[in-house]
């Protein structure tokens, strides 16, 4: 289906993402930060949808918003919020943050000014209708090795988590 | 003006859903229809649950408001809207306020892809089933928010229980769904689909509901999903999140009035949503029972066969196409039977007349469903809704019969029984699907 009012939704979603991202680092209450992060991730999923990548959008919603962030919230809720709100943050790292932000900003400006040379002239052909199938053939064909390595890494991480959490196995 | 009419008419006669055809007008009409129908279904479920539970426990249930308590849900809704809206003094205002809306949004948004028929869905997505699972998993966020923002002990424990439960059962549920999606790829091209409409069409093409596919593998996957879906919606016997003997009402203890009713609405529409996933994946969606049997081709002047030249013309097709109308006529007959049994006291005069009027309305709907153009359009919606209604009855039945699980039993069941079973079924389904063509068609 052809998208409707593309610029409007793009600016709306990017705006939500930016505001959400700023709220994540400025809120003192960690639960508020986590919820702002969820809003950011959902807006990002919608931008994937606008880029004709429905599968990535669906996975983003299931894994990040529905899975990982719920576990985040789960842990944060058990921590005493009152104390962490009153405590002064002692690990502020202005210098490193400034350097990273300048580097990223410089990269963005470079892409913006030289974008014509980097990006292809025409939009990519839309493959919305068989997006999932395309991803499947790529993952299990061309990139099989990388995919298996990633799953092995995840398996190691799972076993590590179990070993650390359980004293007696 | 003419352009607008042409735009509206451009969708009519299309074999796609309005969303897939890109026609905004019909998308809006379908959204109104689906959400209106959903709200009516939730109201009906409220009444039915109380009535059926009461009859299971040899009680009468609601009898006072309207004949046989038919107007009770409406009276309840008015009561909830007029109730004072209380917010605890120490609550986190914004999150407390947003939480019910998150739950309702998550429960309602999934209906965008629910296929009531080959063309009767708001839209068809390439990632349909993934979208449904993803968005319905967002409702746990609303529950966690509600429990935490109430700043009270019972809601917090209820929210923790419910999020732990939903996150663990999602895994088993996902594995069961994957094994059904795998079955959609058993065709010449070997390409499966995640689209809700595509999944039902795959069952139509393979001439088999997936619950009977590779017997008993499809049945086991369906069983895993049927257990996990009760846990996902926090219903009895897995309703630990709102176990009233331990946690008063769980995560919505501090909510009252309209906000509480939003949680109620979300719970019931989430039940309908997961039931429609189960119906779509395993029970053939909108397909009628025995969709491959047609019987001898017959014709009745002005009535049969259907106008659509591609529709089947068998005698069995005719019989099954009469089911929707007959069902509504049966409902009407039940109303008239109970009208005759109403007390003859003058105080019951209005109630008796009301029940008779309701019967007349149901009977007229039933008669309208026999008219050929309506009959051909409505049949698929009827079969889908009838299957979902069967699941709704099961939900009430579970609540009336099963005792509540303990929390460690619940976790054990999810991680040590359903998850290994799901993995095993997935591996077996994949192996059988690979081996089958080699053995039967060498």
Query: What residues have CB less than 8 Å from B301, skipping those under 6 apart?
Result: none
Q: Which of B215, B181, B175 is CA-nearest to residue B195?
A: B181
Q: How many residues are recorded in chain A? A: 169
Contacts of A79 in chain B (CB under 8 A): none
B148 and A31 in contact by Cβ < 8 A?
yes
Instruction: Check residue A106 and give its pLDDT.
Output: 93
Instruction: Check residue B316 and give its pLDDT.
Output: 83
d(CA A160, nearest CA chain B) in Å: 18
CA B284, distance to chain mean position in Å, is 14
Query: What residues have CB less than 8 Å from A131, skipping those under 6 apart?
Result: A52, A53, A54, A55, B126, B127
- Which tokens go with A16? 């939500």
B170 and A67 in contact by Cβ < 8 A?
yes
- Which tokens go with B277? 């996933």
Phi and psi dihedrals of B298, rounded to 5? Answer: -130, 170
**Closest partner CB to B22 (pick from A2, A38, A62):** A2
CA B180, distance to chain mean position in Å, is 18
Contacts of B148 in chain A (CB under 8 A): 31, 73, 77
Question: Which residues, listed in sequence order, are joined to residue B297 by a DSSP beta bridge?
Answer: B314
B141 and A31 in contact by Cβ < 8 A?
no
**Closest partner CB to B163 (pick from A62, A70, A132):** A70
- Which tokens go with B118? 């080959």
Q: Where are the domains of chain B?
A: 2-287+409-440
Phi and psi dihedrals of A123, rounded to 5? Answer: -70, 150
Instruction: Check residue B365 and give its pLDDT.
Output: 92
B145 and A35 in contact by Cβ < 8 A?
yes
Q: Is residue A47 within 8 Å of residue A56, measured between CB atoms?
A: no
B126 and A128 in contact by Cβ < 8 A?
yes
**Phi-psi category of residue A168: left, alpha or beta, with phi > 0 → left and psi -120 to 50 → alpha:** beta
A1 and B156 in contact by Cβ < 8 A?
no
Q: How many residues are recorded in chain B? A: 442
Q: What is the dihedral of CA B366, B372, B373, B378, to 10 degrees?
A: 50
B127 and A55 in contact by Cβ < 8 A?
yes
Contacts of A58 in chain B (CB under 8 A): 127, 130-131, 134
Instruction: Check residue B23 and give its pLDDT.
Output: 79
A70 and B145 in contact by Cβ < 8 A?
no
* Beta strand ranges found along B5-125 (DSSP E): none
**Measured between alpha carbons, how far is B275 from B116 in angstroms, rounded to an integer?**
12
**Measured between alpha carbons, how far is B268 from B265 in angstroms, rounded to an integer?**
5
d(CA B22, nearest CA chain A) in Å: 6
Instruction: Check residue B244 and give its pLDDT.
Output: 67
B137 and A66 in contact by Cβ < 8 A?
yes
**Number of Cβ pairs < 8 A linking chain A and chain B:** 85
Residues on A contacting B at a C-beta cutoff of 8 Å: 1-2, 4, 31-32, 35, 38, 54-55, 57-59, 61-62, 65-67, 69-71, 73-74, 77-78, 128-133
Reported as a single tens digit per residue, the pLDDT across B313-348 is: 788 888 888 888 999 999 999 999 988 888 888 888
Residue A123 has pLDDT above 70, yes or no: no
Q: Is B3 in a helix, a strand, or coil?
A: helix
Contacts of A74 in chain B (CB under 8 A): 144, 160, 163-164
**Measured between alpha carbons, how far is B393 from B363 in angstroms, rounded to an integer?**
23
- Which tokens go with B296? 């001898």
d(CA A113, nearest CA chain B) in Å: 36
**Measured between alpha carbons, how far is A32 from B18 in angstroms, rounded to an integer?**
39
Interface ipTM > 0.85: no
Reported as a single tens digit per residue, the pLDDT across B22-52 is: 778 888 888 999 989 998 999 899 899 999 9
Q: How many helices (H) and strands (E) does chain B have?
A: 18, 0
Q: Is B325 in a helix, a strand, or coil?
A: helix
Query: What residues have CB less than 8 Å from B259, skipping those under 6 apart?
Result: B85, B100
Q: How confident is the model at residue A125 (pLDDT cuts 50, 70, 90)?
A: low
Q: Where are the domains of chain A?
A: 1-87, 129-169
- Which tokens go with B189? 């091209």
Q: Which of B178, B134, B166 is CA-nearest to residue B241?
A: B166
Q: Is residue A54 within 8 Å of residue B127, measured between CB atoms?
A: yes
A83 compared with B46, residue with greater pLDDT: B46
A73 and B141 in contact by Cβ < 8 A?
yes
**Measured between alpha carbons, how far is B410 from B158 in angstroms, rounded to an integer?**
14
Instruction: Check residue B441 and give its pLDDT.
Output: 58
Instruction: Check residue A74 and give its pLDDT.
Output: 79
**Measured between alpha carbons, how far is B165 from B168 in angstroms, rounded to an integer?**
5
- Which tokens go with B174? 């996902």
d(CA B193, nearest CA chain A) in Å: 8
Contacts of A132 in chain B (CB under 8 A): 126-127, 130, 193-194
Instruction: Check residue B147 and give its pLDDT.
Output: 85
- Which tokens go with B161? 């229980």
Q: Is residue B69 within 8 Å of residue B292, measured between CB atoms?
A: no
How many other CB atoms are there within 10 angstroms of residue B175's CB atom?
Answer: 22
Instruction: Check residue B222 and give its pLDDT.
Output: 92
A54 and B191 in contact by Cβ < 8 A?
no
Q: Is residue B364 within 8 Å of residue B356, measured between CB atoms?
A: no
Q: pLDDT averaged over chain A?
A: 83
Q: Is residue B173 within 8 Å of residue B228, measured between CB atoms?
A: yes
Instruction: Check residue B153 and give its pLDDT.
Output: 81
**Residue of A132, A134, A136, A137 to mutate, testing the B interface (most B Cβ within 10 Å of its Cβ):** A132
Q: Is residue B211 within 8 Å of residue B292, measured between CB atoms?
A: no
Instruction: Check residue A1 and give its pLDDT.
Output: 53
d(CA A8, nearest CA chain B) in Å: 17
DSSP H helical ranges for B283-402: 315-321, 323-341, 349-368, 372-401
| B102 shares contact with chain A (CB less than 8 Å) | no
Q: Which of B138, B204, B216 is CA-nearest to residue B179?
A: B216
How many other CB atoms are there within 10 angstroms of residue A135's CB atom?
Answer: 15
A54 and B127 in contact by Cβ < 8 A?
yes
**Closest partner CB to A66 (pick from B20, B138, B159):** B138
CATH of domain A1-87: 1.20.120.1200
Q: How confident is the model at residue A128 (pLDDT cuts 50, 70, 90)?
A: low
Q: Which stretches of chain B drop beneath a pLDDT of 70?
A: 241, 243-246, 439-442
Q: What is the dihedral of CA B321, B327, B332, B336, to 10 degrees?
A: 130
**Closest partner CB to B126 (pick from A62, A70, A132):** A132
| B135 shares contact with chain A (CB less than 8 Å) | yes
Instruction: Check residue B389 and give its pLDDT.
Output: 92
Chain B residues 77-96 within an 8 A CB cutoff of chain A: 92, 95
Residue A86 has pLDDT above 80, yes or no: no
Q: Which residue has the tokens 């063309």?
A: B119
Q: Is A169 in a helix, a strand, or coil?
A: coil
Residue A48 has pLDDT above 70, yes or no: yes
* B379-398: burial string, b at 16+ Cβ within 10 Å, e else: bbbbbbbebbbebbeebbeb
Q: Is residue A60 within 8 Å of residue B127, measured between CB atoms?
A: no
Q: How confident is the model at residue A3 (pLDDT cuts 50, 70, 90)?
A: low
Contacts of A1 in chain B (CB under 8 A): 19-20, 22, 123
Q: Does the reported pTM lie above 0.80?
A: yes
């Amino acid at each position: 289906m052809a998208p409707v009012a593309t610029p409007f939704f793009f600016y709306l979603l990017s705006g939500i993402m930016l505001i959400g991202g700023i709220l994540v680092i400025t809120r003192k209450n960690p639960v508020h930060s986590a919820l702002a992060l969820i809003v950011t991730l959902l807006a990002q999923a919608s931008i994937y949808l606008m880029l004709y990548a429905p599968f990535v959008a669906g996975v983003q919603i299931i894994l990040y918003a529905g899975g990982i962030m719920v576990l985040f919230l789960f842990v944060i809720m058990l921590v005493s919020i009152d104390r962490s709100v009153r405590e002064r943050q002692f690990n502020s790292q202005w210098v490193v943050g400034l350097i990273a932000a300048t580097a990223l900003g410089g990269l963005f400006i470079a892409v913006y000014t030289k974008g014509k040379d980097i990006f292809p002239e025409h939009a990519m052909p839309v493959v919305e209708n068989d997006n999932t199938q395309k991803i499947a053939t790529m993952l299990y064909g061309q990139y099989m090795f990388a995919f298996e390595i990633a799953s092995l890494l995840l398996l190691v991480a799972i076993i590590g988590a179990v070993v650390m959490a359980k004293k007696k196995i | 003006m003419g352009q607008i009419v042409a735009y509206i008419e451009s969708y009519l006669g299309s074999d796609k859903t309005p969303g897939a055809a890109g026609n905004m007008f019909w998308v809006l009409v379908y959204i109104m229809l689906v959400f209106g129908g959903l709200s009516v279904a939730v109201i009906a479920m409220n009444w039915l649950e109380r009535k059926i539970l009461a009859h299971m426990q040899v009680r009468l249930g609601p009898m006072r408001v309207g004949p046989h308590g038919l107007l009770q849900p409406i009276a309840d809704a008015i009561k909830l809207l007029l109730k004072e809206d209380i917010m605890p003094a120490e609550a986190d205002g914004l999150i407390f306020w947003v939480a019910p809306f998150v739950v309702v949004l998550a429960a309602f948004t999934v209906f965008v892809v629910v296929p009531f028929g080959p063309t009767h869905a708001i839209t068809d997505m390439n990632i349909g089933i993934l979208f449904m699972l993803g968005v319905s998993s967002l409702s746990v966020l609303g529950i966690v928010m509600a429990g935490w923002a109430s700043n009270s002990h019972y809601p917090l424990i209820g929210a923790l229980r419910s999020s732990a439960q939903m996150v663990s059962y999602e895994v088993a549920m996902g594995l069961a769904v994957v094994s059904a999606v795998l079955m959609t790829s058993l065709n010449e091209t070997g390409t499966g689909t995640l689209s809700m409409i595509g999944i039902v069409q795959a069952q139509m093409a393979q001439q088999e509901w997936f619950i009977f596919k590779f017997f008993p593998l499809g049945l086991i996957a369906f069983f895993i999903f049927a257990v996990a879906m009760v846990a996902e919606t926090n219903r009895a016997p897995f309703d630990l999140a709102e176990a009233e003997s331990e946690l008063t009402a769980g995560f919505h203890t501090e909510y009252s009035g309209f906000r509480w009713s939003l949680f109620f609405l979300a719970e019931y529409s989430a039940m309908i949503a997961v039931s429609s996933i189960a119906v779509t994946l395993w029970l053939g969606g909108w397909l009628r029972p025995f969709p491959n049997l047609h019987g001898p081709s017959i014709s009745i002047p002005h009535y049969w066969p259907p106008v659509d030249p591609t529709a089947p013309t068998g005698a069995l097709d005719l019989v099954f196409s009469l089911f929707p109308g007959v069902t509504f006529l049966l409902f009407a007959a039940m109303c008239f039977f109970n009208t005759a049994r109403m007390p003859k006291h003058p105080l019951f005069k209005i109630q008796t007349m009301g029940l008779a009027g309701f019967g007349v309305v149901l009977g007229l709907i039933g008669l309208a469903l026999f008219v050929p153009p309506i009959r051909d359009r409505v049949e698929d919606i009827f079969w889908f809704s009838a299957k979902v209604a069967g699941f709704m009855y099961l939900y009430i039945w579970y609540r009336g019969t099963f005792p509540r699980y303990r929390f460690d039993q619940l976790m054990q069941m999810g991680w040590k029984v359903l998850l290994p079973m799901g993995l095993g079924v997935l591996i077996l389904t994949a192996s059988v699907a690979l081996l089958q063509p080699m053995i039967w068609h060498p």
